[in-house]
Structures are given as C-alpha cells and as structure tokens.
Structure 1
Amino acid sequence: AAAPAHAAPAVLAPRGSACEVDGSLVAPFGRHLAYGADPRTQMAVAWQVPFAVRRPFIRIGFEPWALGHRIGAEVRHLATPVLNGGRIAAAEQYYVHARLERLRPGTTYYYGVGHDGFDPADPRNLATLGTFTTAPERAEAFTFTAFGDQGVSYHALGNNQVILGQNPAFHLHAGDLCYADPSGSGTSGDTYDARVWDQFLAQTESVAKTVPWMVTTGNHDMEAWYSPDGYGGQNARWSLPCNGPDPVRLPGAYSFVHGNVGVVALDANDVSYEIPANFGISGGGQTRWLERRLGELRADRRVDFVVVFFHHCAFSTTGAHASDGGVRDTWVPLFEKHRVDLVINGHNHVYERTDAILRGAVGRRVAIGERTDPTRDGIVYVTAGGAGRALYGFPAPDSYEGHVEDRESVASYHWLKGRAKAPETVEWSRVRYTGYSFLAVRVRAGLHPSMTVSALAESGARIDHFEIRRG
C-alpha cells in the first residue's frame, strides 16, 4: 500500500569528480530523525551515503513487512576542499533528506532508506529498518532528554545508550555537536576535519534513528568556510522545522509543540558577547521572532509549559565560559516577561543547575527534590554540557544528590561586550556536578500538569531532581 506521506522530489548529487559506485555496494548510515513544525503529522528523516548514488528514496509503513512505495529524497552534496595549508581537510559528503507530511498522530511507523541497487524492503536488508513515532493528538505523559557538547568519545556513546533507556519522545541537543572544528572561534583560520561528522552521525544513529534529534547551533558548529555565515554544513546535515526567523541563515532557531510542551530552539551565536563571530547576524530578527513566538505559545491553550534551549549559558559559574552577558541582556528579560518554565544550555562541560532566578537574583531557593512555580518564583536555568567532551571545573566544590556541599555564594564572572569579563559573586548556583550527564524530563498532563526534571550521570545514577508546577 502507498505510504500516507510525501517528501521532496529526488535530486541527484552533482557528478563532476564525485565518485559514483554500484548502488548495491553502498549501504546508508548515520540515520537521524527530526520533527517538523507539527510533530503530530511531520517527520524529517536524514541519512548519509559514502558515495554518490542514484535516485535515493525512503519507504514507510505500519509493519516492517509492509513498507509503501518509494518516496523520493533529496541529496545535499557537501564538498570541503583543502584549506589553510592543510589545516582544513578535504572531504566529499553526501547527505540525504526526506520530509514526511500528513502522518497520523500518535502512530509508530517503520521506515527504510535506500537508492538504486539497495532496497530496504529486500529481505536481506530488513536489519536496516528503523521506526519513529509521531506526537499524540492530545497531551499525555512523556519523557524528553537533553544535553549539549557531545563530540565523539566513549563517554558520548555511553550517554547515548543511557538516554535510549529513558524511552524519550525526543531529544534536545544544545549545540557543539561533533567538534569537527575543535577551536570553536567561528573564523576561517580554525582547524577543521569534516570527516569527524561521519563518526558523529554513526555514533548517534543508535538513538537518532528512532528518537527525533532536535539540535541547535553552538560556537563549534560555526564552520566559517561554508556559506551562509558558516552554517552551510548545518544546512547540509540537518532538516529541522522551517518555522523560525530564517531557516537558512539561522537553522538552529525554530519551535515545535509536543503534547502540552512548547519548545523553542535559539542560536545564541547571534547574541554572544564571548564569541562574537556571528554576533548580530539576524539584525535583531531572531529576538523579535522569539518574543512573538513566546507570546503565541503562552496563548496556546494546548501548552502548559514552555522550554527554551540554546548553547551559551545565561547563568553558569565554571572558569571556562561562565555566563554570557549577551544572553542575559537580550533574552532573559523576554524569558521572564513570558514566564518561561525551563531554560537548557550547554557550552560549559559540566552539569549545573540554578535556583529559580528573577531579575538577576534568587527568586526562590530550589533545593534538590523541591518544587518551583515559574509564575511567581522565577526561572530555573540548567547547564547540561556533560554529553561527552572533556570536562571543565567549578570555582566551588561539587554539590549534587547524595553529596550536598551548599555554598552561600560562589565567585564567578560574566562576559561583557568587547569580550571583557565582569567579576560577580552569585547565590544561585544550587547544584554542581563535574561528570558526564544528561537531563531527563518527565512531563505529565491533565488537571495538575507538571515537569519532573532529573539529571542522570552516564552510569544512570541520579544526581539532581526537582519539579516544576504552575499556579
């Protein structure tokens, strides 16, 4: 039977010097999902092939033995030449994308991806099939997970497997995805190896082939040699919701609603005082869109909670990056105006969680296991940057579940325009953990909706938890 969806028409990869081989010798890899703007009816499926192939496609169906007809997919050929005297390595990469529409809400689909010479419906290839599940029509309980600063490592792989065990509906990745650019300045003089992306997508496939992997853009994801503004690589690899302020110029800014949670992704490179390579690229457009979108979500009767995620930290105390004053100046007032429920960041390679913050100070102390109400207490900010890269340190002792070392204040700093550091002593650093970790957020709907936010170490041990309820 025909699959109840359609995708973009087929686009062949450029021929030129590209190496094209017999399709029967090429197997797709690096599959990764992403919601569309409406997760109830839209899903994007992306994958990679090592060589140019002919007529790539996807098949979907309700059973693995009953996949539908071929739906054409789009190839995005990303060619990276040798640059900077060899500091940027040459690579030819072929990313394939299919956007699926008119799906049934709350439904699990089987899918397979292929091309001429490789059919996933062939019994010999059934092991390559994946599944995805669309968001439900009405709100119900679910879990989502989140982290940032992953890279390619045993710790990154380990975190992925523990995340898969949470059975999340979707995953939020707060930027600095694979570190093909290890310097992270966003300038053309950086060292870069595009082939690290192949390793990253292969590593991530075990989760992302089933769980929508919703990414935003960190400073290490600004790859300056790709147009526009260093985001050509992002556009080649990811198919994210196209409802943001500018899907091409700001691919990491978008929004979606799953059940009773509205999620907003932002590109903090646009407002960062610390790393200014792309400072102001939207001309204020992203911030205007943010205010409009937060207002729309608060007016949406389906939405109980609003979660915002982006890379650079609004509030963190590590000696490596600490807090970005550009985020504080530009976006925090909007978060408070619209009473955002939870903000998730990366950038600092640790786990840190604040008390509820209102107007720059502690609105309510939120100890481990306690409850907070964003309508009166302020907003809790979580730095979840322990996904896999080398860890940072804190200026105060770790303090986490089972190992509480409270401090009345912590000496830190925040970035000013011009990359100056302004020292500050803060009272909001409530939980600190120097280890690999991620967030798991359990959402409940109904008469008394709530979000239980837990932080789990890569061992699966819980290091923090608290509850958010409104009103």
Structure 2
Amino acid sequence: MTESPHSGLARTAPSRRTLLKAGLIGGTGVVAGPMLWTQAARSAAPATGVHLSYGSDPVSRMNVSWSTAGSVQAPRLDLGLTPDYGLTLRPESVSSRRVDSVYHHVDLSDLRSGTRYYYRLSHDGGPATRGSFTTAPPSEEPFRFAAFGDMGVAEDAARNVNLIRREGAEFAFVVGDIAYADDGGMGTSRESQQDFGLWDEFLTQIQPSSAAIPWMTTVGNHEMENGNGELGYDGYRARFRHPDNGASGGQETYSFVRGNVAFIALDGNDATYEYTRNKGYLGAAGDSWLELQLIAFRARADIDFILVGFHQCAYCTNVAHASDGGIRDRWEALFDRYQVDVVINGHNHCYERTHLMRAGKPVQQAPRGSTVSTDEGTIYITAGGGGASAYPDILPKLSYYTDEHGLKIPEVTDYRAVGDATHSVAFFDAHPRDAEGRARLDLEVIASDGSKVDTLTIVRTR
C-alpha cells in the first residue's frame, strides 16, 4: 500500500503551533528580527547556505535554515517522505546588518523518529535547492558526532567539512568563533575589521555537510559583533536557530539529548575574564539554569554522559589564550558536583586534552590510547583546530591563566595529557550500556589530512 505524502510527516497532523510558526495560519511568515524584512520582486538566484539544527528534541524536531541573495517573493520549504513532497511551509525571514542576504528558517515539529525526510527550498522565479535529513531514532543505538571550534573560511576549514562527511557524523557540535566576520574578537571592533559577507561564505562552505546533518553552534568572542545589537549577537541570531530552552530568549544557551548523551551549550563570553564586553550578562540566572539542567540530566536513568560546550578554555596550555580563570571560577564547581564527563572548548587554535580533573587538579592519568572512567573526574578538551590559522604549541609545561583583573598568572600545567597544533576534528562514538552496565564514549581525533591525533575510551558505570 502506498503511503500518502502527508502521512509520514507527523504521528498526528501538524500542530497549530507548527503551522503558525511556518506561516500557514495566523500571519504572513514575516516577523521582526535583527532587522525587518520585506518581500521583494522575483529573484533567479537559488537558495544557498543551507544548514540544519535540532530542536529541543532531536527525535521529532528539526530546523531548516537557508539564505537568499536578497529579498525574494514567496520563499517556501516543501517537505515529504519522498521527493514528491506533499507539505509546503513558509519560513520566518530576517535580514542582517550590512549584507543584502535574507535568512530563512522553518521550525519543523511532530516529525517521526529515525525517518528520512526530503525537502525542497524555493521562491518565485528561482531554481529549487533540494536535500534530505534523518531524524534521530528513539532507541539506544551507537551514534557518532563531531566537535570542534574556530573554523572560519579557509582551505583547512573546507577539508574539515569534507572530513565530517567522510566520517559519517550524525551532527556537529561547534564551540564558537564560527565565521570571523568580526575580526576584532573583543566586541569593540572598528568597521574596517568587519566583513559580514564572510557569514555567507562560511554557510556556503559548510553546506555539503550542514544541508544533511545538524550543526549545533555556540557563540565565541568573534560572535560579539560591534554594532550588531546590545550583546553583538544579532548577526548570529539572524543566521542560526537552536532549541529555545536556554537561560535567555536568545540562541546562546540551550540543551538537547541524543541517545544516552546530554548536551549543554553555554556562552563563555558571559564568564570569561579575558574579554569583558558581555561578562555577567546572564550571571546568576545563567548559572541557576545550568545547575537545573545538570540536576535533571543526572537524575535520568537513560542518560549516561553529560557534555558541556562553550568557547573559552577552562584548561589549556597554548600560549595564545591559555586558560581562563573566569570559566573555572563560575562553572568548574558545578561540573565537579554533577560529574560532567566532558567539557569541550575552542578559542586556542589547537587540540589539547587533559587528564581526569577534580577541584582543579588531575586525579587520574589519561594518556593517549587509554581507557578511563569519568566516574572519577572530568576531561577538558580544546578542539580549536576547526580551520582558522593554527597556534603554535610552545608552552606544554608552564603556561598561565587569566585572572579577574585580566592578568596572566603563570601556572605549572600538570593537567595536560595530549597536545597537537594541527587542524583537526574530534569525533565521539557513543555506545549504550553493555551487559556489564558500562556505557562508553570512544574519542577519535582526526587531522584534516586524515592522520590520527588522539584516541581515548571513556566509560561510565554509575
């Protein structure tokens, strides 16, 4: 029996909320964003910069985002279980500062788990852009994801996009400094330091991967764009959509669960001592939200591992930025209390991994190729080799951290297990609990040239 094109889009008919957000009822599909968008004449340019992201539930929600070279007439997404589609949705569309591009977003809900969907992006007068994605399955099955930061637009960045495709990652967790459209990185840059067209180049660069798998991003210091709103995040918010369950109304903090792994995205700009532009804007409210997330995740029997991602480093020896005392002071005690398994950072353009840490000290050695239990401590990973210019690895034994006064305080770095200065991506394979009750995360770090940088087996028994 042939299934109708509508029957696989949801277990029930699309909800009123879905239809409303898609612009099918109760509105025009055009909403206020960083700048108002108005519909214009026909455009022959295709949709570009296609990128996906999970909603709060990867099993049933997906956001599809794309851009057009300017305002277009009747932008739309067609969706179906086959390339015959069957459902047409209108996007939320916003523009952004000093670019002609318009960014379009459709929030899909009530999707079937573990199901492949086909989509078509088009507008009046323009050719269609086609793609597909698969929602996460509900069952406990192994899955692979990628983690990195500091990508930019570069040859090594493009190589890493291809690497993510070849390695079969189900999604990417990107820990800030995305396109470097604001080269200043302190939120106070001059217009001569800004090239917002780089956002479109970046989105085009990642499309071979991001049009098929979600890219879950966090903000770094280079997302604080001077002139782009109170926090500098209006450019970021125009281009990305993430779960709306964070500590604020923005896109900077959120959480989601995939399989037996819980992910928490934080805004390191709120905690860092290095750059003070946005320091403390969430403050206690953000910390309370974080603690509630950690309490809830640790109480769930179906969650084994908790991964927290943000930009600035709690522990890194690299001379460029090294470690940030603000991160340690704000969040390390919470990570210890609720036994966060892995913290993933960027900022330093290198790869580095710590031994198992508790209360600021290494408590168990974790050399390359070993098996360790995060019941005993937290592993901090700097995965800043996404593609931006690499930083030299010259302070592996005696480095520094930035204190509350912005001073660089020397410290002996006995926490470092592995370091590497090449461009790379960290891949994790998550496995459910085996017959002996052990859940497992296999870490494999691969350089953009395909060589192996690091491996580690992480287990949890309680």
TM-score, with length taken from structure 2: 0.91
- Counterpart of 2:270 in structure 1: which amino acid? D
Rounded Cα–Cα distance in structure 2 between residues aligned with 1:13 and 1:341: 40
Contact 1:273 1:417 in 2 (8 A): yes
The answer to whether the 8 A contact 2:51-2:65 is kept is yes
Gaps of 5+ in 2: none
Q: 1:129 to 1:137 in 2, by over 3 A?
A: same
Partner letter of residue 273 of structure 2?
Y
| 3-state secondary structure, aligned to 1:332 | helix
Name 1:260's counterpart in structure 2.
Answer: 260
1:413 is the counterpart of 2:432: no
Q: Of the candidates 31, 55, 59, which is equivalent to residue 40 of structure 1?
A: 59
What residue is the counterpart of 1:101 in the other structure? 109
Q: What whole-Å deviation, never above 9, does each CA across 1:282-319 have from its counterpart, x for those lacking one?
A: 13211111011011111112211111110000000111
Question: Relative to 1, partners in 2 of residues 1:17 and 1:308: Cα closer, same or farther, differing over 3 Å?
Answer: closer
Q: Secondary structure at the match of 1:372?
A: strand
Which runs of 5 or more structure 1 residues have no equivalent in the other structure? 81-90, 121-127, 398-409
Alpha-carbon distance, 1:16 to partner: 9.7
CA distance in 2, matches of 1:446, 1:341: 15
TM-score of the two chains, using structure 1 as the length reference:
0.89
- State how far apart, in whole Å, the 2-side matches of 1:258 and 1:101 are: 16
Which residue of 398, 411, 415 corresponds with 1:424? 411
1:179–1:221 CA contact under 8 A, matched in 2: yes
Q: CA-atom RMSD, angstroms?
A: 1.8
Write out aligned runs for 1:20-169 (5 A): 20-23=40-43, 25-64=44-83, 66-80=84-98, 91-118=99-126, 120=128, 128-169=129-170
CA–CA distance in structure 2, aligned partners of residues 252 and 394 of structure 1 = 30
Give the Cα separation in 2 of the matches to 1:334 and 1:132.
Answer: 35
- The question of whether the paired residues in 1 share the 8 Å contact of 2:114 and 2:136 is answered with yes
Amino acid at match of 1:61: G
Equivalent-residue separation in structure 1 for 2:160 and 2:36 (angstroms): 40
CA contact (8 A) 1:8 1:74 kept: yes
SS in 2 for 1:463: strand
Amino acid at match of 1:76: V
Which residue matches 2:194?
Answer: 192
Structure 2 counterpart SS, 1:129: strand
Q: Which residues in structure 2 correspond to 1:226-265 (within 5 Å)?
A: 226-248=228-250, 251-265=251-265
1:395 deviates by: 2.6
Look up the match of 2:423. 436
- Residues 101-124 of structure 1: per-residue CA shift (max 9 Å, x gap): 00001111111111223464xxxx
1:445-460 aligned within 5 A: 445-447=432-434, 448-460=438-450
Deviation at 1:228, TM superposition (A): 3.4
SS at match of 2:236: helix
Count, aligned residues: 437
Same amino acid, percent of matched pairs: 37
**1:367 aligned counterpart, secondary structure:** coil
Maintained 8 Å contact 2:37/2:71? no
Give deviations 1:296-349, integer Å, cap 9, x for gaps.
111112211111110000000111100000000110110110001111100000
Residue deviations 1:9-53, cap 9 Å, x none? 143489999894423x12100000000001100000000000101
Q: 1:21, 1:51 within 8 Å by CA — same for their partners in 2?
A: no
Q: Using the alignment, how far apart are the partners of 1:47 and 1:254 within structure 2?
A: 21
SS in 2 for 1:92: coil
Compared CA separation, residues 318 and 42, structure 1 to 2 (3 A): same
Amino acid at match of 1:462: K
Q: Given the alignment, which residue of 445, 459, 462 partners 1:469?
A: 459
1:8 to 22, 26, 36: 22
Matches within 5 A, 1:299-378: 299-376=299-376, 378=377
SS at match of 2:97: strand
Q: Say whether the 8 Å CA contact 1:247–1:253 is kept in structure 2.
A: no
